[in-house]
Homo-oligomer: A and B are copies of this chain.
Amino acid sequence: MLIRSALALMTTVAIRMHIKEMLDEAERTKAPSFSFEYFPPKTAQGVQNLYDRMERMYDFGPKFIDITWGAGGRIAELTTEMVVQAQTYFGLETCMHLTCTDMGLEKVNDALQKAYKAGCTNILALRGDPPRDQDTWIVTDEGFRYARDLVKHIKETYGNHFDIGVAGYPEGCDDNKDEDLLLDHLKEKVDMGASFIVTQMFYDVDNFLRWVRRVRERGIVIPIIPGIMPIATYASFLRRAKHMNCKVPEEWLAALDPVKNDDGAVREMGRKLVTEMCRKMLDAGLRHLHFYTMNLAQATRMILEELNWMPCADRPRKQPLPWKQSLGLGRRDEDVRPIFWRNRNKSYVTRTQDWDEFPNGRWGDSRSPAFGELDAYGIGLTGSNEANQKKWGAPVCVGDIAGIFVRYLKKELETLPWSEAPLTSEADSIKDDLVNLNQRGLLTINSQPAVNGVKSSHPVHGWGPPNGYVYQKSYLELLVAPELVGEIIKRVHDHPDLTYYAVTRKGDLRSNAPTDGPNAVTWGVFPGKEIVQPTIVESVSFMAWRDEAFRLGVDWAQCFDADSPSRVLLQNMMDTWYLVNIVNNDFHQPKTIFNLFGGFAVKDINKSAIAGAATKTNGFHPKEADAPEAVNGTPTAAVA
């Protein structure tokens, strides 16, 4: 039973998350958890591939990830860059490795400062590998001799900001096999302030458990995280075991040797062996496993599946909010965002990175510092002109563009200029309505269906803590031809439940919103909490989004030669069309927002933007573009 004094009940704000806390929580709830380790790749393409993979592996549900320290120059820069990426954009709680003996004070301080600024609050403090061409350590000037010195330095410099982990060596260290001496070193590191231990890889579980007992006998009580190396190929398995001086049990060799030339069979056997090893540790009371992914997804994934730890339809990855949180510096409490950047998460995080304060609980004055400029890296349209032409073709009429939007909705295209990721299953319930709108030239760049109180555990719409209910108002954001906008606005005005904003690239804004304040379009009701309202529609941020939305269209236009029909078409649309968002405030009515558009269609949808140019003859056409078609009872004549 919980008994607290009134004073102890004062609200505390979560400004950081320490790995120690997560491990304590796992211990309390007996819920097993796991983490992934990545290293900085050697090439730019490797980095991009790894980022994609890290983002996908976010969905596996690791409690945190490690980024190893890339000793020396550019590769060290890459470690801190990867920490920023993981914390800020992927919302992955990250532990940065840091070696000291090969660094010197200035470089260590620089790395720590970069980690701090990235919002990182966990460091794995390591001594560092000896340079290959030396047998003994040469301590750099003003540098560190042992990992314990680094632990001490971090504590002295940053107090309790960083949670500090240290390495454990169940099978001895590269240059030191004396277990007692190594345990002395471990004890010293703990005494200096380390609060968790990550072990080197091993395959001999019995020895590991023996070692854990010896650690405990030394009076070391902090959590121990076993490091586990999944098996990808037989060759890599042997190479790594040898490199790390890691003992391979006889029965492992006996099981793997017969299939060593069949990579698939090796992975299968590896899955079985490593899973067994994991189960044995879990049975012995270990709660958290750390996987050396070697920057690959599959081998780790197979083990998680075998342990039945992968999220699935019945047990989806639990998200605290309907959008992916950033763990960048000062952002942990952020829990309200405008809906406009729903499909451009990175751009939103970038454009707000200079804010001193993030909305928490309500969308208040924290948005008053301006949104960042459009020319910051990663906000404009990505991809080369060539690649984008290949992806989306060369549209010459509104009908061509409508076709591209329809292909995206049908998941035949992965991205649109306004959507950086494929359509999610959330749109399934309104997909037919969206396709219908786009076929008529009403180009939908963002939407969400109405949800009237489903359980927070709902596989598609659910988010937040258990035993809650979540809600959404239906939302639609479209690019609208100028000849249609007047009648659409008139119809919205005639409907008491609809609110809208419409704006041109130049900034002429129309709205029927009752106040200048925000309209909550997603919210959740949870036990013992205030109502959480993580997504809103409001005017100031819409004006900032307008700049970006039209800019993306202009960027797309500029993928084509000047005076080409595609360039003229897109540029003309950006100059004259409206960006319109509509909210149906009655979240009991899922269809109202679509019924609004009955009878609308863009005039001359297949007419080229260049007068006189024969329709559908100029330029490359996207191969599978759906030709817009007359929809049941929907005349294609425009409503004036």
Contacts and interface: CB of A to CB of B under 8 A. Distances in A.
Interface stretch (A8-16, A270-278, A623-631): A8-16
A1 B465 CA distance: 42
A533 B530 contact: yes
Contacts of A543: 6
B508 A3 contact: yes
A512 B2 contact: yes
Contact of A511 (B2, B10, B516, B518): B2
Contact of A496 (B1, B2, B514, B527): B527
Interface stretch (A360-368, A421-429, A566-574): A360-368
A475 to B, nearest CB: 13
Contacts of A499: 527-528
Interface string A544-561: 000000000000000000
B362 A525 contact: no
A530 B519 contact: yes
Main secondary structure of the interface of A (DSSP, over half): loop
Contact of A516 (B9, B533, B583): B9
A529 B539 contact: no
Contact of A6 (B4, B526, B540): B540
A348 interface: no
A4 B515 CA distance: 12
B533 A517 contact: no
B3 A585 contact: no
Nearest to A496: B467
Interface of A: 1-6, 9-12, 361-364, 452-453, 465-467, 469, 471, 489, 493, 496-497, 499, 507-520, 523, 525-531, 533, 536, 539-540, 543, 583, 585-588
A341 to B, nearest CB: 18
Given A453-B453, A489-B1, A585-B467, A10 B528 contact: no
Nearest to A11: B516
A523 B531 contact: yes
Contacts of A493: 1
B513 A528 contact: yes
Contacts of A533: 530-531
A499 B467 CA distance: 12
A515 B6 CA distance: 13
A509 B3 contact: yes
Contact of A515 (B3, B453, B528, B540): B528
